[in-house]
Amino acid sequence: MFGNEVHHLKTGSSESLVVNGNVTNFRITHNVVHDNNNIGIDVIGFERTAPDPAVDQARDGVVSRNLVYNITSRGNPAYRNDESSDGIYVDGGTRILIEQNVIHDVDFGIELASEHKDRATSYVIARNNLIYHCHTAGVSIGGYAPERGRTEHCTVVNNTLYENDTSATGSGEFQLQWNMADNIFANNIVYARAHCLITLNKSQIDKKQPPAAIDHNLYYCVSGAKASTWIGASATVTGFQEYVQSTGNDRHSRFLDPHFVDTATKDFHLRSDSPAIAAGTTDGVPVGELDLEGSPRVKSGNIDIGCYQRNE
C-alpha cells in the first residue's frame, strides 16, 4: 500500500486502512490517512479470518513514512463519545516495524496491544516517529482490560512525544495497561502538557517479569520536574527523582527542556544546545540506520534522543 490518501471515512466499527489475518511481508508506506472516525492504520491478528489458526496473524510487515492525523471515534455511533481510535494500531500482529511516521491530532498515537485473551502483540519496533497533540496517550501498550491479550517483546525507541492527552483523559504520554512483559521504552523525548502527567501504569509490577525496561529518555514539562506525575497501579508518585527512586526506572534519563527549534511551527528538530544530543543508547536497542527524515542515525558512536538526529 503506497502513496494513497484515505480520508473522510465513516467507518462504524471498522478501520481506515487494515491488514488482518494471514497477511505477511506487507508494506504500508507513504500514505496520508486523515479525518476518519476510527483507527487510521490497523495491523490485526487472531480474529479467525484465516482458517488455519497458525497463520491467523498479520506479520513481518513495515508501516513507515505515513502521515496520520484527525482520527477520532468521538461522535462515531459505534463508540459514542469514546476517544479510543489509534493513529497506528497493532492488535495481535507480530514482527512489525513502525518507523518514520508523523501522527497528530488522533485519539491514541501508537498502540501496541491485543484484544484477545491469551494472545499477544509481539516483536514490534516503533522507532523514529513524531507523535503530538493526541487526545489521549501518545503511546499505549498492553491489553485494555485484564481479561484481554498481551504485549510482549515490543520496543518503543527514539520517538518524540509532544503535548499529548489534550482531552485530559488521565492517560498521560506513555500508557502501560494490562498484561505486558519484556518491552523496552528508550531514547524517547517525552514533552508533557502543563499538567505534566507522564505515565499511567495500570498493572501491578511483577519484578520477575517487568512490563517494560524504561531508561535513557528525556522528559520535560513547563511545570517542572517536581510537578511531574507518574501513576502506578498502587500509587501515584509526584516528582521525577521520587519516581526514579521508587520504581528503578529511568536511572540514566533526565528531566530537561529538549530545546526544540520551534514548537509553535511544529519544528521538533533539536537546537545545538539540546540535552538530547548524543544522550541516547545503542546498547541492545534496535535504533535503525536513519532518523525520521532519513538522516544517518549513528555518528561517531553517538545517538541523539528523539526522532531527529542532529548531524551538524
pLDDT tens for residues 263-304?
A: 999 999 999 999 999 999 999 999 999 999 999 998 777 899
* Percentage, residues of the chain above pLDDT 70: 98
98 with 51: CB under 8 angstroms?
A: no
> How large is the average pLDDT for residues 168-180?
94
The 3-class SS string of 243-295 reads HHHHHCCCCCCEECCCCEEEHHHCEEEECCCCCCCCCCCCCCCCCCCECCCCC
* Burial (CB count within 10 angstroms: exposed 0-12, middle 13-18, buried 19+), residue 1: middle
Q: What pLDDT sits at residue 232?
A: 85
Q: What pLDDT sits at residue 205?
A: 58
Q: What pLDDT sits at residue 260?
A: 98
Beta strands 139-141; 108-113: pairing state: parallel
**pLDDT > 80? residue 312:** no
Residue recorded with cell 498479520: 58
**pLDDT > 70? residue 121:** yes
> How large is the average pLDDT for residues 31-50?
97
Q: What pLDDT sits at residue 233?
A: 75
> How large is the average pLDDT for residues 60-69?
98
**pLDDT category of residue 32 using cuts at 50, 70 and 90:** very high
pLDDT tens for residues 135-149?
A: 999 999 999 889 999
Q: How many C-beta neighbours within 10 Å does residue 254 have? A: 17
Residues 6 or more apart from 260 whose CB is under 8 A from it?
162, 191, 267, 268, 269, 270, 271, 274
Q: What pLDDT sits at residue 311?
A: 78
Which amino acid would we find at residue 274?
A: S
Q: How far apart are CA 27 and CA 232, in angstroms?
A: 36
Q: What pLDDT sits at residue 298?
A: 85
Closest C-alpha among 257, 128, 251 to residue 190: 257
Q: How far apart are CA 231 and CA 236, in angstroms?
A: 4
Buried/exposed 36-49: b ≥16 CB within 10 Å, e otherwise = bbbbbbbbbbbeee
Q: What pLDDT sits at residue 208?
A: 64
Half-sphere exposure of 45 (CA within 13 A, CB side): 31
Cell reading at 119: 494472545
Q: What pLDDT sits at residue 206?
A: 58
Half-sphere exposure of 16 (CA within 13 A, CB side): 31
**CATH number for the domain whose boundaries are 5-270:** 2.160.20
Q: What is the DSSP letter of 242?
A: H
Q: What pLDDT sits at residue 204?
A: 62
pLDDT tens for residues 183-241?
A: 999 999 999 999 999 998 887 655 566 789 999 999 999 999 999 999 987 789 999 99
Four-CA torsion 58, 63, 69, 71, nearest 10 degrees: 0
268 with 162: CB under 8 angstroms?
A: yes
Domain ranges of the chain: 5-270
Q: How far apart are CA 182 and CA 175, in angstroms?
A: 15
* Burial (CB count within 10 angstroms: exposed 0-12, middle 13-18, buried 19+), residue 164: buried
